[in-house]
Chain A
């Protein structure tokens, strides 16, 4: 089945630690996105990538980093510089930037 796989489903971070969230898609989509959702809030864009080896900052990129070495994969690293990392993180992709985005099932990150 084609889709977007995010792992792990739950993740815990210690103080001062970097953690990496995985996002893989087998939809042959060019564009991929990372969003953050906080309780009672909409989705806010962290980073996006329209093509391999290229990515741009979204509205809340501080404290995060990404890479896009393969079309299928767009991992997100939450660095120790992100002071409030507890949130639900969603990865999305689409065929072209002007098509509906399709989402994975998310990773919930919490602080130990």
Chain B
């Protein structure tokens, strides 16, 4: 059973607009969440993270929101740029109890059109 779900396999957005990528999780023990960006034939690149003591974390054009009661997080990219076109993976960890293993979603492919 998938513990981290990204229900939208793809998303297309116009350049300059907002991109919103969503992620749901089922394990209530997860308390640390990360977003990675991946280009074809390359490894994922860490983008931004958030711990469960916060509901928002911002880094430049990237903001992650966490709704613990809904077990939902989202990544907002504003403004979207063509170079943001990639696959975005959501990942989660039981920060307090685990050995640091990440559980990944299946990814959402973002296409930003000029």
A residues within 8 Å of B by Cβ? 4, 6, 31, 33, 35, 40-45, 48, 50, 56, 58, 90, 92, 94, 96-106, 108
- Interface contact A101-B9, CB-CB below 8 Å: no
B100–A98 touching, CB < 8 Å: yes
A106-B46 contact in complex given A43-B89, A45-B101, A94-B100, C-beta closer than 8 Å? no
With known contacts A42-B106, A105-B41, A108-B41, A56–B99 Cβ distance under 8 A: yes
Which listed residue, A42, A50, A94, A98, touches B105 by the CB 8 Å rule?
A: A42
| Contact across chains for A101 and B46 when beta carbons are under 8 A apart | yes
Q: Which 4 A-B pairs have the closest CB atoms?
A: A97-B100, A103-B43, A42-B104, A100-B46
A-B interface contact total, Cβ < 8 Å? 60
Which of B's residues lie within 8 Å of A, judged by CB?
4, 9, 32, 34, 36, 41-46, 49, 89, 93, 95, 98-102, 104-107
Q: A43-B102, A97-B100, A108-B41 are in contact. List 5 more A-B contacts (CB 8 A).
A: A44-B104, A48-B99, A90-B44, A97-B101, A105-B41
> Do the beta carbons of A106 and B43 come within 8 Å of each other?
yes
**B43: chain A residues within 8 A (beta carbon):** 4, 6, 90, 92, 103-106
